[in-house]
Structure formats: structure tokens, C-alpha cells
């Protein structure tokens, strides 16, 4: 999302520098008037690369000229330049990628191109040979989420971890952090644009700054953000537990702008599986970590994700995971099916789990997870506690009422579920005066 917002801003700047072109923007790439489409891609998983290839092919079939950008295509460049020919032939996406590469309607762009590229170049189907990755910028972006009062702030890219299932370090490289000064400038720009919630993220936020300051600087950064005088809140995504301490959690508790939201990608609970994954934290520390959050914060929201049927996951390991999920620490649990990536060390591991066992285990853990969600929702609806929320969508019903899709403040946008609220009366009392609630909602959304 951040990359796309920077792209939109730079495209508009290109147009402003050459007003002889009438540039119009559409969110629908298949509109008849659209001739050029920019495709932001991801290469992390094969299913996502396949989605990229299918999307580009569909655009080509529709007569559109597609510019493919970022790491989806970088995966192929890295694979075919750095790996042997045999590996390329093993990749099931190889043939389609080769076909698309020779399609005259497919072009490539990288961030460095925007230092010299012009509107004329883009119209003439300029194609890059540079794959230099993300360039951090401090200029304003196109804040496409501003109407919903939130935006993302990327503080680092790429990763130093060595998880056996992940290929990010291989195709993208080691972590690159933004300086504290640039992060603060980015947040200043967002708050100036009336953004109320800043979502701080990186592949691993806990290691922020290790590449430029030689030690983790996340909490020093958060304290500086807390000291900014404007009225806003922030949350942090992807807190890895291996280098976090209980002192860190206590520091978060003292930050008044911090939303007590903890996205902790644990991946599993069984020590043997974690060891094969290349994860370095133990069960006792994880329990202590989670209990401390619940003890320190009067309200909280904890999300995690698990990889099911990782190579070598035994019935005992799976039962261990089920018992862990039943502990009711989590408000949102994402489940990922393991599958081999050619560049990932885990693809070479033995004891692969068969498809029948995979399906059975997925259904078992899903049957445990769904009733837990339902029970949490019932408890919330029956509670006298008041909840702050943002309106994400409004639909008028046939009976004249309005169905609001709302996001509780604790829930992260694009990740956690939204609530449905039925508004029966559009007139309400506010500070002693009658207010047209519907008009206020319309104003917020517009």
C-alpha cells in the first residue's frame, strides 16, 4: 500500500511537470478509457506470484499495457540470474513468465527509474533493466486511506531473520531501516493531513535500526513519536517475541498514544517445529510474554498466525498447538497452509505431511477457532463497555434504516473483522442539540 501511494504521487508529479498530457486516474484497470495499468506485485509465496502472472495475462488479453513493479518480478530476476538452469526449469511459473516477458504489452519499472523517467517514456512503453527495490521517501504520498482516518508508516524493508520457510532475505536482501528523522517527518506529514491513526510496520519491527544504528531502536523511535505534540494514535505491527523483553512491554504501557494491539507472528507452539522453522524462542517465554500483556493493559487485542503441517509436524506437535490455541490468548488467529518454496531451506526438509492429514488438521483447528470468535463477539455485545469505532461503509436498507460497517479502534484495518451496526434513527442529541447523524456520517466518508 505504501509503495502504491508513493507511485501515485510520483505519477501525478510527472504529469504536473508536463501538462501537455491529460492524465486521468482510475481504480478500475478494466475501464474502457484506461490504456496503461501499474501492477504492484509480491513474490513472497508461489500463490501470489501465480496471481501476478494471471493478472498480467488478463490485462494483456484485455488490450491493456501493463507496467509490472516490485518484488513479484524481482523474484524471477533473482532466480534466473543467481540460480542454475535446472532450478529455473523446476519452477512451475517459468513458462508463463517467459511468455509474458516477450509480450509487447508487458513493461518493467523500478523506483530508480522515477529519477529520470518522463510521461513520454511511459507512453512509449519504457522498460527498465534496474531492480533496485524500494527507495524511502519523506515527501507526502497519495494518502488513499485518509477518508478512513488511518495510514501506514513503513520504518524498514526486508529482513535479517533466517526462518527456514521464508525467501524474503534471498530475493530482497537484508533489512534496511529508515532513519528516525525521516520516520518522524513522514508521520508529521500524515498528521498534517488529518490522519488520526498511524500504523507502523516492517517485516520485523523489533529489529528496526540494527542496520544503521547497530542496535535495535524501535522503542527509542516510539518514545519520540509519543513526544510529538499532535493528537493522534499509533499501533505497531509484527512484533517478534525472540528479542522482546518484559521491560519492553512495560515501556509500551507508558505510551499514551500507543494502541494496545499486539501482532505477534508465533508460527507454532511446539519447540521441535519451531527449531525446524529457524525460530528461537521457547514455550515458557511465550506464555510469560502473553500473560504480561494481559496483566499490564486494561484492554488489549492480540493477533497471531500459525503455519499448519510444517515438515516434521507430528500428531503430538499438532496437539500441542491445539492446546495452545485453546488457552484463549488470541483475538484473531490466521492459519497458513505450508507449501514448499524452491528457494526456502524448508523445501529440502524430510517428513513432509501428506495432503489427507493436511485437510484433516486444518478442519480440526478451524472448528476450535470459530466458536472462540463467536463467544468473544457475544461477550462484547453483552458488555456495558463503550467502544470507539470508525465508520468504514454505510448502506441504506429498504426499511429506511442504515447498516454501518464499523471498525472498533482496537481492530487493525484490512486485517481484523469489522462490526455491523444498524442505525434506526438518524437524529440524535449531541451537546444538547439535535444533530443529523446521517449527514455527519456522510461527511466523514466523503
All structural domains of the chain with their residue ranges: 2-123, 146-381, 389-445
Extract the C-alpha cell encoding 321. Answer: 498447538
pLDDT of the residue at 208: 95
Say what the pLDDT of residue 259 is: 96
Which pLDDT does position 322 carry in this prediction? 92
Residue 446 confidence (pLDDT) = 37
What pLDDT score does 396 carry?
A: 81
* Whether the predicted model's global pTM rises above the 0.75 cut: yes
Q: Which residues of the chain have pLDDT under 50?
A: 84-86, 443-446
Q: Report the pLDDT value the prediction gives residue 43, as an integer from 0 to 100.
A: 83
Q: What is the pLDDT of residue 9?
A: 84
- What's domain 146-381's architecture? Alpha-Beta Horseshoe (3.80)
| Residue of 309, 5, 368, 307 whose CA lies nearest to 151 | 5
User: What is residue 440's DSSP assignment?
Assistant: H
CATH architecture of 2-123: 3-Layer(aba) Sandwich (3.40)
Q: How far apart are CA 155 and CA 204, in angstroms?
A: 10
Question: How confident is the model at residue 381, as a pLDDT?
Answer: 67
Structure confidence at residue 108 (pLDDT): 79
**C-alpha cell of residue 287:** 506464555
Is residue 137 within 8 Å of 158, Cβ to Cβ? Answer: no
In whole angstroms, give the CA distance from residue 351 to residue 360: 17
So what's the pLDDT on residue 443? 47
User: Which of 27, 233, 258, 24 minimizes the C-alpha distance to 144?
Assistant: 27
Cell (9 digits) for 100:
509474458
- Quick one: pLDDT at residue 53? 86
CB 365 within 8 A of CB 269: no
Residues whose CB is less than 8 angstroms from the CB of residue 214 and which lie 6 or more positions away in sequence, other chains included: none
Amino acid at each position: 500500500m505504501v509503495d502504491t501511494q508513493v507511485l501515485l504521487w510520483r505519477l501525478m508529479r510527472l504529469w504536473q511537470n508536463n501538462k501537455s498530457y491529460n492524465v486521468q486516474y482510475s481504480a478500475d484497470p478494466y475501464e474502457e478509457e484506461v490504456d496503461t495499468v501499474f501492477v504492484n506485485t509480491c513474490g513472497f509465496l508461489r500463490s501470489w506470484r501465480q496471481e501476478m502472472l494471471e493478472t498480467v495475462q488478463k490485462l494483456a488479453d484485455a488490450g491493456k499495457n501493463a507496467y509490472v513493479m516490485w518484488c513479484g518480478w524481482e523474484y524471477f530476476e533473482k532466480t534466473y540470474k543467481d540460480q542454475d538452469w535446472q532450478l529455473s526449469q523446476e519452477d512451475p511459473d517459468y513458462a508463463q513468465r517467459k511468455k509474458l516477458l516477450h509480450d509487447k504489452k508487458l513493461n518493467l519499472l523500478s523506483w530508480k527509474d522515477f529519477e529520470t523517467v518522463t510521461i513520454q517514456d511511459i507512453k512509449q512503453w519504457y522498460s527498465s533493466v534496474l531492480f533496485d527495490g524500494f527507495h524511502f521517501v519523506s515527501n507526502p504520498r497519495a494518502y488513499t486511506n485518509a477518508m478512513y482516518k488511518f495510514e501506514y508508516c513503513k520504518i524498514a524493508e526486508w529482513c535479517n531473520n533466517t526462518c527456514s520457510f521464508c525467501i524474503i532475505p534471498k530475493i530482497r536482501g537484508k533489512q534496511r531501516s529508515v532513519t528516525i528523522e525521516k520516520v518522524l517527518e513522514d508521520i508529521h506529514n500524515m498528521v498534517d493531513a488529518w490522519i488520526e491513526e498511524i500504523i507502523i510496520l516492517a517485516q520485523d519491527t523489533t529489529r528496526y535500526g540494527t542496520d544503521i544504528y547497530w542496535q535495535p531502536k524501535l522503542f527509542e523511535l516510539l518514545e519520540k513519536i509519543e513526544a510529538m505534540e499532535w493528537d493522534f494514535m499509533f499501533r505497531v505491527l509484527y512484533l517478534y517475541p525472540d528479542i522482546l523483553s518484559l521491560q519492553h512491554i512495560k515501556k509500551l504501557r507508558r505510551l499514551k498514544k500507543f494502541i494496545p494491539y499486539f501482532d505477534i507472528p508465533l508460527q507454532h507452539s511446539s519447540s521441535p517445529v519451531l527449531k525446524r522453522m529457524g525460530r528461537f524462542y521457547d514455550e515458557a517465554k511465550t506464555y510469560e510474554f502473553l500473560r504480561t500483556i494481559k496483566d499490564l493493559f486494561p484492554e488489549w487485542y492480540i493477533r497471531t498466525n500459525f503455519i499448519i503441517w510444517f515438515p516434521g509436524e507430528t500428531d503430538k506437535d499438532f496437539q500441542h498447538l491445539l492446546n495452545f490455541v485453546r488457552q484463549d490468548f488470541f483475538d484473531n488467529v490466521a492459519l497458513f497452509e505450508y507449501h514448499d518454496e524452491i528457494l526456502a531451506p524448508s523445501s529440502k526438509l524430510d517428513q513432509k505431511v501428506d495432503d489427507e492429514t493436511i485437510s484433516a488438521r486444518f478442519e480440526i483447528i478451524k472448528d476450535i477457532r470459530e466458536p472462540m470468535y463467536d463467544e468473544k463477539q457475544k461477550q462484547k455485545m453483552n458488555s456495558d463497555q463503550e467502544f470507539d469505532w470508525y465508520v468504514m461503509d454505510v448502506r441504506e436498507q429498504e426499511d429506511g434504516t442504515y447498516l454501518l460497517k464499523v471498525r472498533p479502534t482496537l481492530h487493525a484495518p484490512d486485517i481484523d473483522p469489522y462490526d455491523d451496526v444498524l442505525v434506526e434513527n438518524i437524529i440524535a442529541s449531541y451537546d444538547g442539540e439535535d444533530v443529523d447523524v446521517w449527514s455527519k456520517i456522510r461527511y466523514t466518508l466523503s
